[in-house]
C-alpha cells in the first residue's frame, strides 16, 4: 500500500541558504500548500468531502494527467485538510487506504492489500475478494467511511478487467461506506475500459494539464520563499525548458536543487580555500 514519506528534518538555524534551498526543493519535501492547482483541488475536495459526509460517493473519481502534474500531491493535500476538519469535529472521522498498483505483483493482489489495510488480517486474493464483497454489502452503523486511493490505476487492467470492475463497483453498494479515487497517467483509460467497467466509473473526472512555464516558475519560487538563492532569470530559464519538454514540475525541482547543491559545494570550497590561505599566511 502507499505510504506518505516523512518530510526531511527542518534545516537548523545555522543552515546556509543553499542548504535550505536544497531541502525545500526535495521531491519528498511536503510544502504547506500546492500552488497552481486551485481548480483541481476544489473539484477533488468537493468529491471527497461529499463522499465522506454521505458515507459513500456512489461513483469513483478518476484523476488523469502526465507525470509530475500534481495529481497525487493534490489528493494528499486535500486529505490532509479533511483530516484536520475531522480532528476539529467538523467532519466525521474516516479511514484512508493508499495502494500503488505498480507495486502489486499481480492486479488480483489488490484484494489482499485492501483487506489487510482495513483489517490488519491476511487473506489470499480470492478469499480477500469474497471478504471485501461481504464487507461492502452488509450494513454496519459504526463503521467509518473509507477513502481508497489507487495510484497507477492503469496497472490493474487485465483482459477481462474484473479487478477494475469490482474496485469501481464497490462504492455503488448501499452499505459500502467507500469512496474510491483512481489516479493514472493514462488520459484515455476510461475509453479503453469495457462498457460494463466504464459504466461504473461515472462522470467524475479531473484532468491535470501539464504545468505551464509561469506555473512552474511560481511553484519553484513558492518553495524558495524568503531565500535569496537564485536569480529570477535562472528560475525562468529552468521553467521555460521544462515546460517545453514535459511540464513535469518534478524535473524543474530537480534541476534547481542540483544547481543549489553545486553552488553550495563551490561556496564551501571557497571558504576552505580561504581558510587554508589564512593558515599559510600566519606561518
pLDDT tens-digit profile of 174-189? 889 999 999 999 888 8
CA-based radius of gyration for the chain: 23
- Residues forming beta bridges with residue 62, ordered by sequence position: 182, 205
Domain map of the chain by residue range? 38-208, 211-274
Query: For residue 174, what pLDDT is reported?
Result: 84
The pLDDT tens digits of the residues spanning 116-147 come to 999 999 999 999 999 999 999 998 878 899 99
Q: How many CA atoms lie within 13 A of 141 on its CB side?
A: 0
Quick check: 283 pLDDT over 70?
no
Share of the chain above pLDDT 90, in %: 66
Query: For residue 268, what pLDDT is reported?
Result: 78
Mean pLDDT of 215-225: 94
We find that the CATH architecture of domain 38-208 is: 3-Layer(aba) Sandwich (3.40)
Quick check: 272 pLDDT over 60?
no
Quick check: 2 pLDDT over 60?
no
Instruction: Determine if the pTM surpasses 0.85.
Output: no
Query: For residue 6, what pLDDT is reported?
Result: 40
CA distances from 204 to 31, 155, 207, 283 (A): 27, 20, 10, 75
Query: For residue 189, what pLDDT is reported?
Result: 85
Mean pLDDT of 81-105: 97
- Work out whether strand 205-208 and strand 145-151 pair parallel, antiparallel, or are unpaired: unpaired
Q: Dihedral sign, CA of 87, 88, 89, 91? A: negative
Q: What is the DSSP letter of 143?
A: P
CA distances from 208 to 65, 112, 181, 211 (A): 5, 30, 14, 9
Quick check: 155 pLDDT over 80?
yes
Query: For residue 276, what pLDDT is reported?
Result: 47
Query: For residue 211, what pLDDT is reported?
Result: 96
Residue 260 CB contacts under 8 Å (≥ 6 apart), including other chains: 18, 21, 22, 25, 229, 230
Residue 47 C-alpha cell reads as 468529491
Mean pLDDT taken over the chain: 87
Quick check: 32 pLDDT over 80?
no
Query: For residue 263, what pLDDT is reported?
Result: 87
Are 196 and 165 spatial neighbours (Cβ–Cβ below 8 Å)?
yes
Amino acid at each position: 500500500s502507499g505510504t506518505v514519506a516523512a518530510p526531511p528534518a527542518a534545516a537548523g538555524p545555522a543552515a546556509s541558504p543553499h542548504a535550505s534551498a536544497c531541502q525545500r526543493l526535495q521531491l519528498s519535501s511536503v510544502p504547506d500548500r500546492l500552488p497552481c492547482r486551485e481548480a483541481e483541488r476544489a473539484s477533488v475536495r468537493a468529491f471527497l468531502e461529499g463522499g465522506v459526509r454521505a458515507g459513500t460517493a456512489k461513483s469513483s473519481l478518476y484523476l488523469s494527467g502526465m507525470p509530475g502534474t500534481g495529481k497525487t500531491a493534490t489528493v494528499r493535500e486535500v486529505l490532509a485538510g479533511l483530516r484536520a476538519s475531522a480532528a476539529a469535529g467538523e467532519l466525521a472521522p474516516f479511514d484512508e487506504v493508499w495502494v500503488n498498483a505498480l507495486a502489486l505483483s499481480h492486479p488480483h493482489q489488490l484484494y489482499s492489500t485492501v483487506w489487510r489495510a482495513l483489517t490488519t488480517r491476511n487473506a489470499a486474493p480470492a478469499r480477500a475478494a469474497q471478504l471485501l464483497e461481504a464487507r461492502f454489502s452488509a450494513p454496519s452503523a459504526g463503521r467509518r467511511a473509507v477513502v481508497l486511493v489507487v495510484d497507477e490505476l492503469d496497472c490493474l487492467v487485465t483482459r477481462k478487467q474484473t479487478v477494475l470492475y469490482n474496485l469501481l463497483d464497490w462504492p455503488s453498494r448501499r452499505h459500502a461506506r467507500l469512496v474510491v479515487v483512481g489516479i493514472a497517467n493514462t488520459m484515455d483509460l476510461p475509453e479503453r475500459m469495457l462498457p460494463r467497467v466504464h459504466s461504473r466509473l461515472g462522470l467524475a473526472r479531473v484532468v491535470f494539464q501539464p504545468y505551464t512555464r509561469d506555473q512552474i516558475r511560481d511553484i519553484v519560487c513558492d518553495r524558495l520563499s524568503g531565500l535569496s538563492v537564485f536569480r529570477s532569470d535562472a528560475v525562468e530559464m529552468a521553467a521555460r525548458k521544462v515546460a517545453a519538454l514535459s511540464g513535469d514540475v518534478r524535473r524543474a525541482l530537480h534541476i534547481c536543487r542540483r544547481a543549489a547543491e553545486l553552488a553550495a559545494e563551490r561556496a564551501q570550497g571557497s571558504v576552505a580555500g580561504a581558510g587554508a590561505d589564512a593558515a599559510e599566511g600566519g606561518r
